[in-house]
Structure 1
């Protein structure tokens, strides 16, 4: 990688001006918030600092902030030359690599809306998103071309080489020529901070995916919050394990740049590569779901890194066993919570000094809470379920840690709307707040704790059992690596829990061909920790659990399995 030389078009001029065209008639005490300015600031203050490393590929590349800013400027001009207008959608289909990292800045610089598309979707699903979003252009990694074979939308392919003859590099070079060396001052700044920035599509597990439109202002503030809550700075090195196509990488494409952090991109979740970077690349931060974290701490290369690492965890609450393994490995877990509709995380579990004297199990229960709102977010609330059309005022549940309600929030870190779906937007914003669909309790200290998604609650004999609470207790069994619990029909109780379990590799041989014996042991373990209606009626050992591309367990597939039993 030391021999890598950026293309000639990537080298900025000596007199580079890192300032967008001024917006006329703005008062002196105001500038519209836009995360693009983080890049210009970084290139001005630390032009020679390494910004982006892409090393685990045939053609590795490395760009400092000065060079990277020039490349993003080239992308903006290339998009404008192509005919992209303000508000147009530019689709991006790529794993974590320079292309998608560029797009999160370059598309905004062209005043367009970046539309990242999940690379693990089927061609028909990708086709729907392209059609629904009305993308004007697609930036596509060479491994994803099969997903767009039937589209009529123009496609720019990246071979992920960084070489001058790469089609994507040619596109950037043409942008540089088109710019006429007008530079950043030749690009118009967006005057409306509430203009669309990103259009992300939800997973669509219960129907067609929804397009979540977020704004420049929200992206700016969410990125600052993530940088602050993650305690990132210019000495930080962020490893891209979380896909950037997932909720715009939880705004870390901008949070990293705001922090002047170095970013390392990984095309796939490869535990050998991850541990090599942990041990030899000075990684200080990364984001991943608990299932990915489990793979990390159980990797054969796992050992304490020479530097402190912060693991930002979302997607599910970390179990006591996982917390212990992370801490033993020298990785500090930070539990956050959010949705695509909230720019990724908008709450954090803020650990208290008093917790240090607690047992691991007690501390894990507290760390599993979703906690309090981020620095730039409005307060997170738990409210009683609305009735009728949902337009009545929202009523907070008591802060007793027992009464179940729905998590709602409003303010800076909430989407603008569901794209082209006013009815879904109206329902989501009923009562003047965004409704998450997550059921939770509110504790006396103001921390919220999710009990379940509304569809995951198990109603057994009239009692509500939280599948998440059951999973937390079952995962405390020392032989359980992963577990997921869903409802299964029961002739007497209506529903009862069924547990799907993945065993720790070192314990698989003990229970081989002894499914019933393990089921009996796990049920006894559960009886000591759970009320009878919450204890699993059935237990099935599996080699793996079905998961989304971002590592979340797909309970929909497990429900399909259960429905046939």
Structure 2
């Protein structure tokens, strides 16, 4: 599944004969310096591999595919179209779309116009979207036809994409107008951003504890985070990346640029469709993808799951993979790479680097080591675990002992940390206390310099004065052979203050043994837990559920579970 014939790009998408990919020279800059900007990746790819397939979008009514030289022309057209529409340097351009060519274009084209790319989660409600549009001060919206209901009534200029790649598509007409406006001046006609610390992306957090915050990242950080992902994922021109992670989530962890830096092929699917995922695994020579463990569970338990004809790397974040999941992935020829990060760190900035000595360990022992969050990326600065400050104005950060036991907070600084919270200096100051980004994630540091998260501070269960990590409890419960997926939150307890409550999904292949007798399963799971966990961490309550509430990236929404528990 490598070509879509007889697809023909629009005339405006075809570069002129002899097109070059040189940008305008910036005056007044030292000869030994240029501002880092991920826009340069598409220009390099179009120069080196002009006729290789860059972007494939096959599972729609009108499938499309673009080579690097054609895609570069479309990105150039978008930059000119935005400028023609009145977009100035630093303006925010909102994009509301699932994984499709338009949002892939925007990661590059918005930067080409020296504007700030502002992706918006397609699963938000209209009021939430309205808040982000107002807070960001978005000057223009690029929206997929399936998402127009989210912006009904807006007065902001809007371009709709029907996701067809055909001349009569409004988005294609917008690109064509940009081509005409360019008067064939090409890349040399676009001004180059000389400040690598200029804003690149404005991502909005989920807002689970209040209004969402705008995380502003930079061109330099985006460039270096993308390069880091290529290095850590070992990607190259032979790689094929399948878009399962939404590109609107933390700018797709910078993989929209990483793939282009690697000159890899990208395959886009509009939703997490397990049938389509396995079709591409088996027929599109997929080598890389990103997904949370909950999505990985759906992948390995699909009816089409089987050993793959080519090695595949699965970049896993959002939670630690369990021993069972690691084993299932490896049986299918999928190598799990566990990474950790936040929106404020451009996605992943640490990786659990597997060691040669692990090969002699049992799967369960290896999984416990692999479940740790690891050490800093090649392009990141060091990760530290420090004691929480006693006062908000404390500036000195003190590291916890490297004993794998003392709990502190993960902090980091350097190349791939956000620039600021947009229009929120107080939140920025608090996040950067002590000269580091304070993550809010509680962790321990091992003697080998490896970080392991114990919990988000809000997810820690304090039972009888003892701290119980919901993540650690979940790891042990997931080792039960009949558990497909599990999540643990705190529930009020009259004697102990709090006790863990588990919500478990039964494995479909083994649920029949417990049909009509969930009480027996609960007793069996508690028995299993008591052999692995201290009493204060053993779940007091277990509820069998059909599904767990999740975000657009497949991360379990513990806020929803806590609200449910509060009513019990």
Q: What does residue 408 of structure 1 align with?
A: 411
1:556 is aligned to 2:559: yes
Q: What does residue 362 of structure 1 align with?
A: 365
Deviation at 1:150, TM superposition (A): 2.0
Q: What does residue 315 of structure 1 align with?
A: 318
Question: SS of the residue aligned with 1:335?
Answer: strand
Aligned-partner Cα distance in 1 for 2:252–2:144: 17
Q: What does residue 153 of structure 1 align with?
A: 156
Deviation at 1:21, TM superposition (A): 1.1
Aligned-partner Cα distance in 1 for 2:501–2:352: 29
Aligned-partner Cα distance in 1 for 2:13–2:463: 62
1:173 is aligned to 2:181: no
Aligned-partner Cα distance in 1 for 2:334–2:391: 47
Aligned-partner Cα distance in 1 for 2:331–2:518: 31
- Tell me the alpha carbon deviations over residues 345-386 of structure 1, each in whole angstroms, 9 at most, x when there is no partner: 000000000000001110000000000000000000000001
Q: What does residue 258 of structure 2 align with?
A: 255
Aligned-partner Cα distance in 2 for 1:465–1:391: 27
1:432 is aligned to 2:411: no
> Which residue, out of 372, 380, 388, partners 2:375?
372
Equivalent positions of 1:530-545 (< 5 A) are 530-545=533-548
Aligned-partner Cα distance in 2 for 1:496–1:82: 57
Contact 2:24 2:191 survives alignment (8 Å): yes
Equivalent positions of 1:104-115 (< 5 A) are 104-115=107-118
| Pair 140,22 (structure 1): closer, same or farther in 2 beyond 3 Å | same
1:271 is aligned to 2:274: yes
- Tell me the alpha carbon deviations over residues 485-524 of structure 1, each in whole angstroms, 9 at most, x when there is no partner: 0001111111000000001001222112212111110010
Question: SS of the residue aligned with 2:139?
Answer: strand
Equivalent positions of 1:32-431 (< 5 A) are 32-431=35-434
1:12 is aligned to 2:40: no
- Tell me the alpha carbon deviations over residues 200-226 of structure 1, each in whole angstroms, 9 at most, x when there is no partner: 000111111000000000000000000
User: Structure 1, unaligned stretches of length 5 or more?
Assistant: none
Q: What does residue 522 of structure 2 align with?
A: 519
Aligned-partner Cα distance in 1 for 2:345–2:124: 22
Deviation at 1:198, TM superposition (A): 0.2
Q: What does residue 497 of structure 1 align with?
A: 500
Deviation at 1:390, TM superposition (A): 3.7
Aligned-partner Cα distance in 2 for 1:20–1:117: 30
> Which residue, out of 29, 34, 49, partners 2:32?
29
TM-score, structure 2 length as denominator? 0.99
Give me the CA root mean square deviation.
0.5
Runs of 4+ in 1 over 3 A off after TM superposition: none
Aligned-partner Cα distance in 2 for 1:56–1:33: 35
Aligned-partner Cα distance in 1 for 2:393–2:257: 35
Aligned-partner Cα distance in 2 for 1:437–1:511: 39
Q: What does residue 484 of structure 2 align with?
A: 481
Contact 2:395 2:435 survives alignment (8 Å): no
Question: SS of the residue aligned with 1:520?
Answer: helix
Contact 2:123 2:552 survives alignment (8 Å): yes
